[in-house]
Amino acid sequence: MLLTDILLLDYKRCQRRAFLNVYGDSLEKDAERDFVLKLRQENQLHIASTLKKFYPHHQKPQYNLKNWKDRAKDTEVLMKQGVSCIYNGTLFESNEFREQCAPRITPTLFSEHNEFDCLGKPTLLVKQAGKSKFGDWFYTPVSINLGRRPKPEYKIVATFYAYLLGNLQEITPPTPTLILRQHNHYEVDLSQWLSKFQITATDCLEMLTQSQEPEVFISRQRCNLCHWYNHCYTIAQSQQHLSLVPGVTPSRYQSLLEVGVGTVKSLANICPVNMREVMDAELANQLQQQAQAIVDNRAIRKSQFQEDIHRLIPTRKFELYFDIEAEPERNLDYLLGVLLVERSTKTEIFYPLLAESPEDEQQIWQEFLYLANQYQDAPIFHFSGYEVETMKRLAKLYKTPQQQLERLLSRFVDIHYHVITSVILPVENYSLKSLANWIGFNWRDPGISGDQCVCWYDQWLKTEDHSLLSSILRYNEDDCRATLYLKNWLLEFLG
């Protein structure tokens, strides 16, 4: 068995993913998505810019085509030489080495699980003053990560490197370091994380040696970019797994199991009173009704929703439906898509206010303000909070008067908010795509997501291929039309 940094990272994010990466059938993996490739490229650029800024004089082991055991030997040669900073080094610890030498250094770790080798590839090994088996210096691992926060999985992996170095150089580096997206440095507190690392690594090894396949649990945020998604999703669907019910989190799932609820059907059939020992009445009702909607494949009006929907969602002669495409890496909102609807004449005109280059963002913001001002009585319908947050960001950045911003925002109507507060739909999540699909709206290019548009825009900036922009505009226009479709459906359903 080989315990690697990547395995630990995956295990910390999803135990099942770590399991499938070792035992899964690679033919069942999804093809690599463009967005994942883009993230990988961004990670490489981030590493390159960090090296340039903080470690311009790093050295790289001469790997050629050697295997990782030889690479580890090459890395150790550089450490013995006392090179100030080693980029892309390899740390390898064999089972035999740990049995013979390591117990006197880290005697309590892995007492029960000795049958494995370890492999880690820290981004950097940075020389520090202090005693080690090499001389008056030792090495500290520095991980360069693209995340904005020092996530637990980053800390576990950094601790793993510290552990490997501890055995190799006979002194554990006290402060393994993370360098995050904004080049901010974070030191991992080993007094806290060594024991957490030990538990994680031991559990991971136990799962793998005993070949215990963790249960599927679909979580939109976690599974979204995973290459096992379709494999897991198919299983979850065949099992009617409760993770497909919106609102069922891993901890709520455990609570439901405690009261004998293991499938969507059983959740739909249980009396919410019987769930009160594990969750409050409101949540029990909500989950039960959600499952009921799924089993019956019908929309349900929420019993606590007593408002007049026409007061909350106005109908006007002119209405605007608004959706934004953004490029998070550049902190750029490059497409402000507006569908103008004139109810009396049934006219619909789509205005794609597009920044063909990032410098045009201010111009499209001014165009948007002008268009919104042309139809001052028109409500501006959008889906979720992103559009409002973006208005605030752009107004601040381009110095739009506060009063003008407030007048503009007073016209915004969030259709997502009104859906989730008034109805329960038989969907797996309350995204625009799921909701609109269920009520019968179809995107012209099925299977495309906002992530894909991010990649297309990035490619457009490199290639100037206009077909990429056309695809983005079609997607954005369909998002605006889906918002219109959903709004009409909601008014009819509740009206």
207 binds ligand SF4 (CB under 6 A): no
Neighbours of 396 (CB within 10 A): 11
Least gap, CB of 239 to ligand SF4 (angstroms)? 12
Strand 380-382 with 412-414, pairing: parallel
**Long-range contacts of residues 397-406, Cβ cutoff 8 Å, at least 24 apart:** 397/362, 398/362, 398/365, 398/366, 400/365, 400/369, 404/369
Stretch that binds ligand SF4, among 13-21, 45-53, 78-86, 285-293 (CB under 6 A): 13-21
Least gap, CB of 17 to ligand SF4 (angstroms)? 4
Q: Cβ closer to ligand SF4: 134 or 228?
A: 228
Task: Output the six-digit token pair for 314.
Answer: 């106005």
Task: Output the six-digit token pair for 339.
Answer: 């569908």
Q: How many residues bind ligand SF4 (CB under 6 A)?
A: 12
Least gap, CB of 219 to ligand SF4 (angstroms)? 7
Least gap, CB of 437 to ligand SF4 (angstroms)? 21
CB 53 within 8 A of CB 183: yes
Instruction: Classify residue 159 by burial, with Cβ atoms within 10 Å: 0-12, 13-18, 19+.
Output: buried
Q: Cβ closer to ligand SF4: 223 or 293?
A: 223
Q: 59: which DSSP letter?
A: B
Least gap, CB of 256 to ligand SF4 (angstroms)? 18
Distance separating alpha carbons of residues 229 and 16, to the nearest angstrom: 11
Stretch that binds ligand SF4, among 10-18, 83-91, 192-200, 422-430 (CB under 6 A): 10-18
Q: Cβ closer to ligand SF4: 12 or 71?
A: 12
Among residue numbers 228 through 247, which ones bind ligand SF4 (CB under 6 A)? 228-229, 232
Stated as kind and residue range, the H or E segment containing 454 is helix 450-463
Least gap, CB of 454 to ligand SF4 (angstroms)? 21
Residue of 102, 144, 216, 294 that binds ligand SF4 (CB under 6 A): 216
Least gap, CB of 21 to ligand SF4 (angstroms)? 8
- Taking Cα atoms as reference points, which of 309, 355, 361 lies closest to residue 461? 355
295 to each of 245, 286, 299, 494, how far by Cα in Å? 11, 14, 11, 21
Least gap, CB of 32 to ligand SF4 (angstroms)? 14
Q: Cβ closer to ligand SF4: 229 or 430?
A: 229
Least gap, CB of 225 to ligand SF4 (angstroms)? 9
Residue of 185, 222, 301, 317 that binds ligand SF4 (CB under 6 A): 222
CB 201 within 8 A of CB 110: yes
226 binds ligand SF4 (CB under 6 A): yes
SS3 404: helix
CB 324 within 8 A of CB 394: no
Distance separating alpha carbons of residues 146 and 132, to the nearest angstrom: 31
Q: Cβ closer to ligand SF4: 215 or 465?
A: 215
CA triple 233-414-312, angle to 5 deg: 125
Task: Output the six-digit token pair for 293.
Answer: 């909607």
The length of the chain in residues reads 495
Q: Cβ closer to ligand SF4: 20 or 455?
A: 20
8 binds ligand SF4 (CB under 6 A): no
Residue of 3, 7, 8, 14 that binds ligand SF4 (CB under 6 A): 14
Residue of 3, 4, 16, 92 that binds ligand SF4 (CB under 6 A): 16
Residue of 20, 119, 244, 320 that binds ligand SF4 (CB under 6 A): 20
SS3 401: coil
Least gap, CB of 260 to ligand SF4 (angstroms)? 24
The footprint of ligand SF4 (CB under 6 A) covers 14, 16-17, 20, 216-217, 222-223, 226, 228-229, 232
